[in-house]
Homo-oligomer: A and B are copies of this chain.
Amino acid sequence: MDKQTITIYDVAREASVSMATVSRVVNGNPNVKPATRKKVLEVIDRLDYRPNAVARGLASKKTTTVGVIIPDVTNIYFSSLARGIDDVATMYKYNIILANSDENGQKEIQVLNTLLAKQVDGVIFMGNQITDSIRAEFARSKTPIVLAGSVDADEQVASVNIDYVEAIEEATSTLVRHGNQKIAFVTGSLSEPINGQYRLKGYKKALTQAKIAYDPNLVFETEYSYKAGEAIWDRVKAAGATAAVIGDDELAIGLLNGAGDDGVNIPDDFELITSNDSKLTEISRPKMSSITQPLYDIGAVAMRLLTKMMNKEDVDNQTILLPYGIVERGTTK
């Protein structure tokens, strides 16, 4: 019924050459006489032949597809990275298999395995928690892997990020400079290295430098969501904070609106700096001051790095830090 598929063999027959020759012209191999190439190309065109990538993958052991594990496409931070990834993937003729993990260790492992079963040439992993089991899976496979916007405490696996400790330190210092003494630090789970190690460290460094005592009651651990931000406002307020550094934009906008709905004037009564400079920062009112991160570029660079690894070029630096900045918009004085 649907036995309508044209194979390389059909082309070879029609053009009266061997499959090898057809394969060569399809793959742009220069060792083909121009006249032959032309003849083959005509037949390909006439028969509307389309090489079967699966067969090609089996024979060549390359699928030109990479796996992308993402916590949630719906989160603008990650989708921005994903867009960067896809664009450079396309540029290098790769396709991406996108899989949502919900940051669930179980799912991550499971998904990683099906990606490897599908023989992806490489994988890009996003997720704030690199558990030991996932690290074990990474190690077990010889497939190149790079983390995008996600840190590995051990720096064993390639990654591209910004310097989170410096960035948060600078953000916090900005708030200090504006006269704030009680600055809340609100972010996701502290068990995630990016929060518990890097960001927290930056936060503490800024406090130390300003000779402000570190107060655990000003550290708020929640989840990355708008609702969580709205919900946590009361606690932040109760703690007496006059400003906050926040680890995620959705979370930040939640907190911002929570405060605003509570009648607090921002930035006069309360200042706030968020972390990802996604679209959301321009959308809120007032617009949010933020650490600026080149989200798209982080994804793009991660993918570029991966192409090098897949190509077995050796890379000088496995852990790349891209430059960040601070933009002050309406939520800081």
Contact = CB atoms under 8 A, between A and B. Distances in A.
Contacts of A250: 279
Contacts of A238: none
A73 B87 CA distance: 11
A35 interface: no
Contacts of A4: 142
A79 interface: yes
Interface residues of A, number: 49
Contacts of A87: 100
B82 A90 contact: no
Contacts of A115: 95
Interface string A28-64: 0000000000000000000000111111011000010
A284 B257 CA distance: 9
A83 B254 CA distance: 22
A86 B96 CA distance: 13
Given A95-B99, A99-B95, A142-B4, A63 B74 contact: no
Contact of A283 (B2, B51, B80, B226): B226
Contacts of A54: 54, 57-58, 63, 118-119
16 contacts: A50-B117, A52-B58, A52-B119, A65-B97, A65-B118, A72-B83, A73-B83, A86-B100, A95-B114, A96-B98, A96-B99, A97-B97, A97-B98, A253-B283, A257-B283, A283-B283
A260 interface: yes
